[in-house]
Amino acid sequence: MNDDSNISLRNIVTNHGKSIASLLLNIGENKQPQRKYLSFIQELECLSLENSSDGPILIRREINAFEEQDYVALSYTWGNSEQESPVKGKYKFQTRGYKPQLFPSPVRDSVFDRVFSFIRAKGLSMLWIDRHCVKQKTCKTNIICAHERCEDKKRAIETMDLVYSLSKHPVALLGRPIEWEHELDVLFKILSGQFVKELEQTDDDEILQALSLLSRITKDRWWTRAWTFQEDYRGRRNMTLLIRHPEFLEAKKREYGIFSDVPNELCIESIRFSKEITEFCRAVQDKTSQREDVSHHTKYIIGAAGNYKILLESSMPMTPKVIADIQRRGLDDAWDKLAIIANCCQYSIRIDHKQMQKPKSLSISILAMYLLNGEILLNESQKDSSFMLDKTLSQFLEDQAFKEFYAPEGERDLTFNKGCRFIDTEFTHKGIKTEGHLWKLGRIIDPTRFLLPLSEAENKTYSDTKDEQRCLAHLVAELRCLHETTLAMHIERFLSYDPTRQEDNLKNETFSRSYMCLMAKELVTAINKGKLLRLGRIWNFEEKLNPCSAIFIWDTDGSEETTVKRNQSNINNKRGRKPEWKFAFTASRPLKRGFQQHGTNDLDHHVSLEVKWTTSRNHCPSELPQLLVRGWIVGLCFFYDFPRTSVIFLWPPSFNTTIH
């Protein structure tokens, strides 16, 4: 089976006769490190245009795209739309080698006409286009091929997303044109935000006209392909959409002032297009929620070009949405989804499907890559978990992905959440093995009941801001009163940090220090708001009592549970049944830089979870802790001299189901 994206997990399990956990264990053996071949970028082939008596010629140039980024990275569909001419052959391209020859390009003339019009208008000269800048002649085989040309193309495909993310001028060619003045007027009203502002005074017919226009634009072939999704996603911050228009609209277009001045083209920032159409569709949904025709349009438009920042809550991950959007788009080879998802999600581990034994499952391969790169699933048992198997992979991830991330104030929420991943993951029969620090949570501290007046903790001068310094110094004094001297000492050392001191200039200081500073700011905010705090000590499998060296915010959501926690006078109350031990699990590491000519496609990783360990009281030292995800917990942790320990996050119950 080539693509099982639209098949339920239950049917996949039935077809293979194995549980999801068993399938993941098999697929996990085919994991490989993601390698970005930096030489492809350092010696990036581009094209420049020269005119000759025989017509326009595309001459090869070579640039280092890490240093020279004023090139146009073109995103387009190889097949023409109904509104585009299929004529080709006007442009001749230069072959590679010592004696280059000229041949007619197989790319449509209209593609080059449009992109070189943009290049001239912007004063640029270099074009990158996959058809000519990636070696295309390869063996047509689904197995690994050792030919140099096949390896070159494979490397280019794995690295191609960097071409778009590095370019200052990525450009997408949409085939469907704007043909009439009223269409231009409507598009301007949408993109300028005017439509949303005046929505209450706008009649339903005008709204429907606007939605119909956006539907036609987003039904362009460019919005339906998975490779162009990757190109837009990775080049989004600079991506420009080009939409053709007839010459008689040129003056009106320039009057509006938001479509640039490329002749016969509307130039629209992809970020702006996505943001404004999403806000427009959301506003329309609120106003006309009962109309099926409106609902049909808005659902389709948002599905094609919706803005994640608007669509997703600040506590949610982007990855399930990215995977769902790629899953619904077309590909000649469905297995290319693995490479596209890895590139878009910045995965440092990929799955090599060509080495997998048949029968293969694309959905479970995507799930394996998702988990091997540290993405977090809810894994606590539900009353009836088997119904989760009735979902496709995209639907399953939408439901079961962890959605309670908590980005520090001032951080971009979704970007922070993207790095919230486990480190060094492996599959085991029981679940996902990873490494980090396991903390047993203990004493609860109520900042509203601090014993010392603030003035007694204001004497020292630290390198942090004065307000934060006073607050943390106050906390240090309180901790000393509670005889928590180790944690107090760690916070004092953190406050008096001096990068010129050799002992403070730690390896990976940039990441670890900046992350701890973010957590310290959150701690200060929590103290000022009177939120409960909870101390943690490294769990020791020999049951040796380590001193507390972490402090967590214990009521980040301000829920009703806070009142219960605040009234706990003795968390170790021995009357009746022993209370459940509480644990936290933290892990972090800076992105891996790679080596020699191989980049890693990696991110900084950071995890801070409240976890449940049901067998902690009866734990056998020879077994790894088996944990369940409870929620996100923010804290300032000091784990000097404590090595990481291995733990297992259990499979969700549905992963162990076998159907024959």
The answer to whether residues 7 and 392 touch, using CB atoms and an 8 Å cutoff, is: yes
The tens digit of pLDDT for each residue in 182-239 reads 999 999 999 999 999 999 888 889 999 999 999 999 999 999 999 999 999 999 899 9
- Strand spans (E) along 24-65: 31-33, 36-37, 44-52, 55-63
Distance CA 16, CA 363 (A): 13
- Domain ranges in the chain are 1-34+318-373, 35-173, 431-654
pLDDT of residue 571: 41
Amino acid making up residue 17: G
Looking at residue 30, what DSSP letter applies? T
Residues of the chain with pLDDT under 70: 1-2, 137-150, 289-290, 357, 382-384, 452-464, 498-511, 543, 556-579, 593-601, 660
- Helix, strand or coil for residue 67? coil
Q: Is the dihedral of CA 234, 236, 239, 240 positive or negative?
A: positive
C-alpha 359 chain-centroid distance: 30
Q: Which residues, in sequence order, are CB contacts of 418 under 8 Å at separation 6+?
A: 317, 318, 319, 345, 346, 603
Query: What are 652's two structure tokens?
Result: 């969700």
Distance CA 626, CA 433 (A): 9
pLDDT of residue 293: 86
Q: Burial level of 531, CB count in 10 A (0-12/13-18/19+)?
A: buried
pLDDT of residue 509: 56
Q: Which of 472, 510, 502 is nearest to 488 (CA)?
A: 472
The tens digit of pLDDT for each residue in 111-158 reads 999 999 999 999 999 999 999 998 876 666 655 666 666 677 778 888
Amino acid making up residue 408: P
Q: Which residue has the tokens 């995965």?
A: 347
Distance CA 571, CA 582 (A): 10
Q: Which residue has the tokens 């730690």?
A: 506
The answer to whether residues 421 and 373 touch, using CB atoms and an 8 Å cutoff, is: yes
pLDDT of residue 555: 75
Record the pTM. 0.90
Query: What are 189's two structure tokens?
Result: 């009203």
pLDDT of residue 624: 93
Query: What are 210's two structure tokens?
Result: 């606007």
